[in-house]
């Protein structure tokens, strides 16, 4: 079943949900019910609240109704006829007025005794196809996404063609709840939020900061090996910079405005770094001999995201990017992309994460959404397609997913429970260098415009961490684990030996913590297990008198003896190799 067929299945199930709700709650007002990425939803205005406790009753009625649904029959109605289908429903009336503004009729689809305003896209035999569905959750949703409008009740559900697919998806949801990075972030003491700081502005603890820095060091190291150089730019700028780049017209309402007490300049918090890096490039004349010129910077940008869209680290207002930009000649594009693909393979391969490539091209039916000449877009897209084929990437083309200034390769990374996330992104840009007047002198002494390649390996560190925490379920590999070893002192008399042992391990570069709390050993062990520490040592009389360490590995219930020097060499090797194993 392709995506369109799956969307039709799920939209048909949204009709079924609405039919059941209207039978059970006749005074409810229905609005819209589209298919979405993993299922469908339908928004209603109820006279009294409903909850997930009502789902079994609704699902039961859905199964009764669908037995009588043999197909979807289309009707076309005038505005007046259409409105008569929804007495007292201002939401449907509003939609009908829009759809009939030029005198058109509107389409309705009917199954059994239920029909609804709809433009189409259904299964042919709903009584056969709509068998494997599940209602998932209830949420609030403003009518048409506007906080000035009525808050409606949104019922989410999903539907699959087979029971096996539905069961797999429900298992994935259950597993995702266990792995929720917001829950694990609190349990593992990685990050927090403060109402005094503001929504969408995460604060990272020592553990979380260590995790960020280790991953960023790896990201930067891979790029430095490929000739990237670090730069630094400020966090505020005149808005003239983004007006020239084109970002102001496209994203001006997402920018945080900054007011100066000293100057009349209109300032903003930077929402991206590329215009700044271009100003470094343009600061002095460039020759073809200077190219490719590669800049990298891990820095925070700021987007004024809507409060209702903020979600843990997945969607924040302060976004830290492991950003980089390459300025090159057209002839160098292919080799640059090859090096970037090698970096992506190394980084995500080390983390044990597989990926496929989405070639994000422009939508040819909406050229007004993009800057630049059509022939430049065609040239850029053909280069990316060729690069993907040469590298034997598992790729697919997605029209309409390009940035406004150029096409890109979005690496869709799969996590441990099968979900896909768009993370690393090399973006080809023929537009911005020309807008900013970037040039280089070629071998013939002629001025040319360089090509710019945007590249972020993790993308947003915050969003990447939300994915990575859930991918690992917080059980990080040794090299990236904020705390690599917990030494548990049985009693006060064992404290000195525990501290001396910890000092020895720290000298060897191991991140270790000593638990000297006045608690039972069992409690201390359970605490270390909850923190998912890779290794644990319990130090008592027996261990002090032994020539060996008794090491308990994460995931195991029993400790095993090992020579200290052997253990230290083992740890050093695992860290050096960035191994996924303990």
Residues serving a catalytic function are: 274, 303, 321, 323, 325, 408, 454
- Give, as one character, the DSSP assignment of residue 434: H
CB 515 within 8 Å of CB 491: no
Residue 88 token pair:
């007292």
Rounded CA gap, 537 and 500, in Å?
Answer: 13
Say if CB 384 and CB 401 are below 8 A apart: no
Residue 185: which of 500, 486, 532, 497 has the closest Cα?
A: 532
Q: Are 398 and 363 in contact (CB under 8 A)?
A: no
Question: Would you say the C-alpha torsion 472, 473, 477, 480 has a positive or negative sign?
Answer: positive
CB proximity list for 518: less than 8 A, separation 6 or greater: none
Q: How far apart are CA 290 and CA 443, in angstroms?
A: 12
Count of C-beta atoms within a 10 Å radius of residue 15: 26
Q: Sort strands 257-258 and 354-361 into parallel, antiparallel or unpaired.
A: unpaired
CA 529/CA 483 separation, integer angstroms:
12
Structure tokens at 49: 């609240």
Cα–Cα dist 274/293, whole Å: 14
Rg value, the chain, Cα = 29
* DSSP 3-state percent helix, strand, coil across the chain (nearest 5): 40, 25, 35
d(CA 408, CA 314): 22
Round to the nearest angstrom and report the end-to-end CA distance of the chain.
41
Q: What sign results for the dihedral spanned by CA atoms 162, 163, 167, 168?
A: negative
CA 279/CA 359 separation, integer angstroms? 29
């Amino acid at each position: 079943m392709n995506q369109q067929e799956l969307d039709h299945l799920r939209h048909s199930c949204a009709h079924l949900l609405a039919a059941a709700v209207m039978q059970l709650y006749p005074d409810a007002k229905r609005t819209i019910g589209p298919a979405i990425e993993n299922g469908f939803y339908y928004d209603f205005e109820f006279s009294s609240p409903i909850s997930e406790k009502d789902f079994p009753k609704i699902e039961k009625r859905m199964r009764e109704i669908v037995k009588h649904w043999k197909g979807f029959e289309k009707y076309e109605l005038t505005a007046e006829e259409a409105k008569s289908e929804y007495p007292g429903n201002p939401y449907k009336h509003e939609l009908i007025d829009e759809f009939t503004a030029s005198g058109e009729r509107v389409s309705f689809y009917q199954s059994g005794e239920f029909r609804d305003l709809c433009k189409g896209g259904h299964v042919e035999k709903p009584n056969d196809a709509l068998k494997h569905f599940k209602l998932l959750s209830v949420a609030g949703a403003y009518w048409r996404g506007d906080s000035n409008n009525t808050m409606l009740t949104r019922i989410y559900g999903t539907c699959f063609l087979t029971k096996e697919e539905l069961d797999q998806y429900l298992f994935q949801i259950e597993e995702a709840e266990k792995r929720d990075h917001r829950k694990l972030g609190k349990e593992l003491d990685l990050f927090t939020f403060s109402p005094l700081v503001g929504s969408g502005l995460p604060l990272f603890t020592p553990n979380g900061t260590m995790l960020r820095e280790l991953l960023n060091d790896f990201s930067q190291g891979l790029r430095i090996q490929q000739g990237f150089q670090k730069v630094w730019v400020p966090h505020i700028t005149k808005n003239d910079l983004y007006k020239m780049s084109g970002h102001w017209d496209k994203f001006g309402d997402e920018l945080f405005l900054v007011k100066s007490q000293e100057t009349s300049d209109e300032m903003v918090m930077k929402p991206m770094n590329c215009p700044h890096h271009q100003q470094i490039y343009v600061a002095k004349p460039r020759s073809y001999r200077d190219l490719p010129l590669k800049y990298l910077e891990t820095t925070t940008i700021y987007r004024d995201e809507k409060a209702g869209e903020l979600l843990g680290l997945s969607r924040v207002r302060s976004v830290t990017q492991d950003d980089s930009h390459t300025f090159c000649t057209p002839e160098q594009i292919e080799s640059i992309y090859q090096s970037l693909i090698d970096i992506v393979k190394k980084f995500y391969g080390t983390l044990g994460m597989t990926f496929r490539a989405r070639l994000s091209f422009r939508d040819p039916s909406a050229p007004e959404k993009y800057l630049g000449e059509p022939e430049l877009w065609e040239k850029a897209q053909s280069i990316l397609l060729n690069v993907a084929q040469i590298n034997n990437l598992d790729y697919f083309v997605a029209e309409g997913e390009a940035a406004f200034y150029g096409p890109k390769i979005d690496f869709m990374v799969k996590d441990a429970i099968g979900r896909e996330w768009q993370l690393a992104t090399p973006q080809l840009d023929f537009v911005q260098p020309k807008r900013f007047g970037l040039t280089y002198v070629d071998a013939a002494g002629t001025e040319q415009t360089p090509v710019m390649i945007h590249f972020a390996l993790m993308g947003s560190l915050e969003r990447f961490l939300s994915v990575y925490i859930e991918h690992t379920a917080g059980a990080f590999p040794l090299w990236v684990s904020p705390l690599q070893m917990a030494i548990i002192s049985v009693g006060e008399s064992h404290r000195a030996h525990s501290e001396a042992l910890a000092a020895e391990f720290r000298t060897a570069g191991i991140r270790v913590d000593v638990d000297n709390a006045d608690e039972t050993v069992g409690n201390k062990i359970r605490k270390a297990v909850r923190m998912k520490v890779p290794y644990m040592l319990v130090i008592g009389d027996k261990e002090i008198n032994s020539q060996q360490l008794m090491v308990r590995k994460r995931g195991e219930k029993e400790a095993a003896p090992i020579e200290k020097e052997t253990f230290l060499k083992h740890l050093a090797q695992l860290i050096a190799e960035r191994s996924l194993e303990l």
